[in-house]
Structure 1
Amino acid sequence: MARHYSEAEVVAILEDLDPARLHSFIAAHVVTPVVTPGGHAFTEADVARLQLLCDLSDFYDLPPDALHMVMSLIDQLNTARGDMRALIKAVASEPDEVRGRIQKSVRRLRIVTLGKA
């Protein structure tokens, strides 16, 4: 079972985070905690995401709407990376003949794509 952290625990863990900032991130929908009878509960992934949010907003002075866009792009990139890993595993499990055809097809498509750029 995954560990969950309370708002107070998260604020204590992350030195750049205070309750007001935490609530602004929640209101901006850039972090989505679990709602429990005792308040919000955060996973370890949420804590890491909150640290990244603090770093981005401090270093780049990003407002909440820009943070939402940046985090959405990061989420999309992570999804694409997971899909690519799954695709690589699927192709690796195919016979040599199939892998060879896929490799030739990918090379051909890349040449066509690069030629149109």
Structure 2
Amino acid sequence: MLNEQDVVATVRRVELRELRLWVNEGWVKPAQGESGPVFDDLDVARIRLVCDLRTDMSLPDDAVPVVLSLLDQVHGLRRELRGLVEAVEAQPSVTKKAVIEAYRARLPDDD
């Protein structure tokens, strides 16, 4: 877990002022420690992503929350899909086969 100063030292492309703004905007949601926000590895990865979006991709500030929201939705759907796959895998072979066949039947033809 890192404090604000540690994050700024680790992610050299972000300034303390920006980091605090991003936390206030809800772009990054660190845990709250005894002496302020504390950032985990996922928070640091998200901060790097915001840096990439704003600097490398020149995304305007009003578009950043939209992109972050869409990415969060994609990650949420991936978690749900992984849970569904695990549930199907836990079924007997006959049930798994029936689920796979029913799914394939719903796919559009490639013709």
The two structures have a TM-score, normalised by structure 2, of 0.88
Q: How does 1:1-117 map to 2 (within 5 A)?
A: 4-111=1-108
The two structures have a TM-score, normalised by structure 1, of 0.84
Unaligned 5+ runs, structure 2: none
1:95: Cα distance to partner? 1.2
**Backbone CA RMSD of aligned residues:** 1.7
The 8 Å contact of residues 25 and 64 in structure 1, kept in 2 or not, is answered as no
Q: Aligned letter for 1:44?
A: D
Q: Aligned letter for 1:63?
A: P
**CA deviation profile, 1:41-90 (whole Å, cap 9, x unmatched):** 11111011101111111112223331111111111111111111111111
Alignment: residue pair count: 110
Structure 1 stretches of 4+ moved >6 Å: none
Question: For residues 29 and 60 of structure 2, what CA distance do their matches in structure 1 show?
Answer: 18
More helix as a share of residues: 1
Aligned-partner SS, 2:13: coil
Q: Aligned letter for 2:20?
A: H
Q: Aligned letter for 1:35?
A: Q
